[in-house]
Chain A
Amino acid sequence: MVETLLLVGVVASVFVGFNIGGSSTGIAWGPAVGAGLLRKTTAAGLMTFFVFLGGWTVGQNVMETLSAGIIHIEISLAAGVAVLFFIGMGILVANVFGVPVPTSMTTVGAIAGLGLATDTLNFETIGWIVSWWVVTPIIGFWIGATIGRYVYPELNRRFEITSTEGPLLVFFPADSRLPIGFGPNTTTQEIAGTIVVFVIGCYMAFSAGASNVPNAVAPLVSSGALEPNTAIVVATLAIGLGGFTIARRTMESVGSELSDIPLLAALIVMITASTITTTLSWMGIPISLVMSSVMTIVGLGWGRATRPITAREAIRGSSDAEIAMGALTAEPDAPVTEIGAEESEAALDAGDLFNPRAVIKYVSMWIVGPSMSTLLAYGFFNVVFLVG
């Protein structure tokens, strides 16, 4: 009986890890693969290695929080399996509807639901976690906005990450005795750019491991059904499996959306999001990579969109943004499409891109997701414990 239950639990774990692998590989390596700097298989291999590293080191702190911090008692094997099903359900909803439901939040929500139902919820820990969930997106947005407004234009002038025709490196080139050499068109800048993208991808994979490995296995670790180290290996393998299989698709979908952003901006987002995620994971706070990523992206875009107004004016709100935007961006001979009549349009206002209501609607999904997971788990465990 226990073996069967454990087997079901591991299968559920693998399902969760597999999906985490799919989505986080997309975020970590989408830009690099999209820019043609790396093959998908290489990306998946690197992902697996650095996820393991992140899970093994910093991830232990999150594992501790999830398996022993949120509720006073240990999560029994049966309850752990049920919690994993709720996490899996959240992922399924996210995949089917294309909504970013942060897995860490669903996990905490489901465990908290169990805690509420059994009256063992550690309110102090949950309050601590939730307050970080509130602060984190604000930090991400603020960093993004500051960089977007004051630093990005300068960075953009200085750095250009390019990919030239032909391979980056050639093995056993004819004109050299060294076994490896630069490709025919490879420039030093290209090499440097590729190394940067590569290192940042590894960093993001590390932070994904630190924050996400515990989600897949912590419910089974709590009761001692799985040893923490075994659990980390199981989660890594599952995430790797996802990285090698479904991530091919997510690297394209996520990658294509991230490739709407210039590569330099994507790298800034990745560094910021990884640093936030790694730091919080180190503190033992379960956090999702996607949450800090998205808010940094929005911040970057918003900061840049509002750039022509000086910060002082933006705070006072006294400047006419539309006129300022037009002066900067409207080119006298910008290509005007015409089918019949000439287009006579006022300049576009970049501020329209970040309608506050649209952003709030988006962020509200982060509140709805974990709340649903808490309520469902609470209802479920209530019924189970009433019957049992």
Chain B
Amino acid sequence: MISRVLVPMDGSDMSEQALTYALEAYPDAEITVLHVVGEPSPLWGKATGLALADDLEGTAQEHAQPTFDRARELVANADSDADVETVVKLGHPVRAILNRADDYETIVVGAHGGSVSDRLFVGNVADKIVRQSPVPVVVVR
């Protein structure tokens, strides 16, 4: 039985579907919702804004809050006994996800998230996770 599941969420619909799927498929698992902030962007404003913040932890949490709120709603709506915790990380999403992958038995990701320019700067996260993850990956669409 799968007991530890990582669900990276970027706030997109697709990532919400990933969480919903994870809650249904692994109702007894410990699910970690991971949100990455300060990712590369056209002017590097997100990353620099965080680097300059007086309280890095707090600011990162603040940026992640809307996504976590949404996740909490999904958990409340789902009829699930899953244990869900949230984690915020900094920088490149793929790197942040892969750095933690070893602690989990499965990663559940949405097929894709952002716009064309996000893809250019960050790449297709799901694609890279599938190719580089040391643990099995479920891609939800």
Residues of chain A having any CB pair with chain B under 8 Å: 96-100, 148, 152, 156, 254, 257-262, 265, 290, 293-294, 297-298, 300-302, 304-305, 325, 329-331, 334-343, 345, 347-350, 352-355, 358-359, 361-362
- Contact across chains for A257 and B45 when beta carbons are under 8 A apart: yes
- Nearest to A152 among chain B residues (CB) is B52
Residue from A325, A335, A355 within 8 A of B91 (CB atoms): A355
Write out the residue numbers on chain A whose beta carbons fall within 8 Å of the beta carbon of B120.
97-99
Question: Is B65's CB within 8 Å of the partner chain A?
Answer: yes
- Nearest to B65 among chain A residues (CB) is A337
Tell me the total A-B contact number using a CB cutoff of 8 A: 153
Write out the residue numbers on chain B whose beta carbons fall within 8 Å of the beta carbon of A352.
38, 89-92, 95-96
Write out the residue numbers on chain A whose beta carbons fall within 8 Å of the beta carbon of B92.
352, 355, 358
Residue from B40, B43, B58, B84 within 8 A of A334 (CB atoms): B58
Q: Please, how many angstroms separate the alpha-carbon atoms of A347 and B55 in the complex? A: 12
Residue from B42, B44, B52, B68 within 8 A of A148 (CB atoms): B52
Q: Please, how many angstroms separate the alpha-carbon atoms of A51 and B87 in the complex? A: 47
Residue from B71, B88, B95, B117 within 8 A of A355 (CB atoms): B95
Q: Please, how many angstroms separate the alpha-carbon atoms of A15 and B68 in the complex? A: 44
Contact sample, A vs B, 6 pairs, CB 8 Å cutoff: A334-B57, A337-B86, A348-B88, A352-B95, A353-B91, A355-B95
- Contact across chains for A300 and B56 when beta carbons are under 8 A apart: no
Residue from B33, B41, B46, B61 within 8 A of A335 (CB atoms): B61
Contact with A along B59-79 (1 / 0, CB 8 A): 011001100100110010000
Write out the residue numbers on chain B whose beta carbons fall within 8 Å of the beta carbon of A304.
48, 51-52
Write out the residue numbers on chain A whose beta carbons fall within 8 Å of the beta carbon of B65.
337
- Contact across chains for B58 and A335 when beta carbons are under 8 A apart: yes
- Nearest to A355 among chain B residues (CB) is B92
- Contact across chains for B52 and A261 when beta carbons are under 8 A apart: yes
- Contact across chains for A337 and B64 when beta carbons are under 8 A apart: yes
B76-106 interface (Cβ within 8 A of A): 82-92, 95-96
- Contact across chains for B43 and A297 when beta carbons are under 8 A apart: yes
Whether A257 contacts B42 in the complex (CB less than 8 A), given A337-B65, A348-B56, A348-B57, comes out as yes
The minimal Cβ–Cβ distance linking A158 to chain B, given in whole angstroms, is: 14
Q: Please, how many angstroms separate the alpha-carbon atoms of A302 and B99 in the complex? A: 21
- Contact across chains for B121 and A362 when beta carbons are under 8 A apart: yes
- Contact across chains for A99 and B47 when beta carbons are under 8 A apart: no
Q: Please, how many angstroms separate the alpha-carbon atoms of A297 and B38 in the complex? A: 13
Please count how many residues in chain B sit with their CB below 8 Å of the partner chain's CB atoms: 47
Among B46, B90, B116, chain A packs the most CB atoms within 10 A around the CB of B90
Residue from B46, B57, B117 within 8 A of A329 (CB atoms): B57
Question: Is B125's CB within 8 Å of the partner chain A?
Answer: no
Residue from A258, A336, A342 within 8 A of B43 (CB atoms): A258
The minimal Cβ–Cβ distance linking A326 to chain B, given in whole angstroms, is: 9
- Nearest to B54 among chain A residues (CB) is A156
Write out the residue numbers on chain A whose beta carbons fall within 8 Å of the beta carbon of B41.
257
- Contact across chains for A257 and B46 when beta carbons are under 8 A apart: yes
Q: Please, how many angstroms separate the alpha-carbon atoms of A96 and B120 in the complex? A: 12
Whether A340 contacts B48 in the complex (CB less than 8 A), given A325-B56, A348-B60, comes out as no
The minimal Cβ–Cβ distance linking A350 to chain B, given in whole angstroms, is: 5
The minimal Cβ–Cβ distance linking A286 to chain B, given in whole angstroms, is: 21
Among B54, B71, B86, B116, chain A packs the most CB atoms within 10 A around the CB of B86
- Contact across chains for B44 and A294 when beta carbons are under 8 A apart: yes
Q: Please, how many angstroms separate the alpha-carbon atoms of A301 and B52 in the complex? A: 6
Write out the residue numbers on chain A whose beta carbons fall within 8 Å of the beta carbon of B28.
none
Known contacts A100-B43, A261-B48, A337-B61; 4 further A-B pairs (Cβ under 8 A) = A262-B52, A329-B55, A339-B33, A358-B40
- Contact across chains for B86 and A331 when beta carbons are under 8 A apart: no
Residue from B47, B68, B72, B96 within 8 A of A301 (CB atoms): B47
